[in-house]
Amino acid sequence: MSHPIDRPAVWFITGTSRGLGLELASQLLAQGEKVAATTRSSERLLAALGSGVDTSALLPLQVDLRDEAAVTAAVEQAHTRFGSLDVVVNNAGYAFLGAVEEASPTDVRAMLDVQVVGVWNVLRAALSLLRAQRGGHIVNVSSVLGLTAVPGWALYCAGKFALEGLTEALAGEVAEFGIDVTLVEPGYFRTSFLTEDSLALPSGAIDAYPSLREMTQSHLGLQGSQLGDPARGSAQIIARVRDGVTAPLRQLLGSDAHAFAAAKVDLLRDTLDQSRQSAPATDFATVWPGPAQGPRSRTQAAARRPAAGHGSGSWPTGERAGDQAR
């Protein structure tokens, strides 16, 4: 679906009180778009936008994304207020820095409730509307730490890795309805992400991980000197949505994100090269009837990529929304 050109687009954005979400909302309102903005505090959102932003086309929605009924009501309210729904941006999230064994069950549930369950609630509420109108655009804001993991960020990475898998599958499922999907993977941006009131830490820190305590302090010290400009990052997201052309599923933001991703790809390539001969050793020697191609060995079937296609029963073959290979 191309971006609407005969009217302002309607954007539904989560996590708009700060960071990329706030910047997105601010830029879109300044450009005359309509924005339904979820936040934990409408007052904080309006204060952050300031008096210089025209909020007549803003619908602030104070929503707990973990509450499915509340999320559904918010999406319906946005659709009723503006008459359509064009772009859904799942942006809400927060950081957690601590060792795997330091994360309590409460920490784990809280992170996954926001990064995964909250996104799922928004998608369930929005997809029926997008399918009915045969178009729209979903933007899921992940992180380069959804592609690669580093010590201390296990819980955050777990949420983002889950979001990446969800988004890849989603893109293939909704392509036939004219719905585009973008997976945004930022690096370090100069937002409040690394401030003491945004960076969650384990309540039961263990003395066995002094290096992680040092990492925590270095990250807090990084605040204000991150490479990424949130204004430029938000502008890139908006441009990708408005472009209206088939684009790669993933949108990396920041030279640091690109470097992290390239290093992960190199590591995976080395692993694939080293396991090229050993991987087939677990295959049965019997033949397997492939779909409409007659009997062939399972090793041959695994090595041969099926024809391109979308929908149930087809295998992804490319790097486009609805056409990914992972």
Indicate which residues carry an active-site annotation.
Answer: 142, 156, 160
Counting Cα atoms < 13 Å in the Cβ hemisphere of 48 gives: 24
Spatial neighbors of 26 by CB under 8 A, at least 6 apart, are 49, 53
What separation in angstroms does the CA of 263 have from each of 62, 147, 156?
40, 10, 19
Phi-psi region of 134 (alpha: psi -120 to 50; beta: other; left: phi over 0): left
Distance, CA of 253 to CA of 231 (rounded, Å) = 12
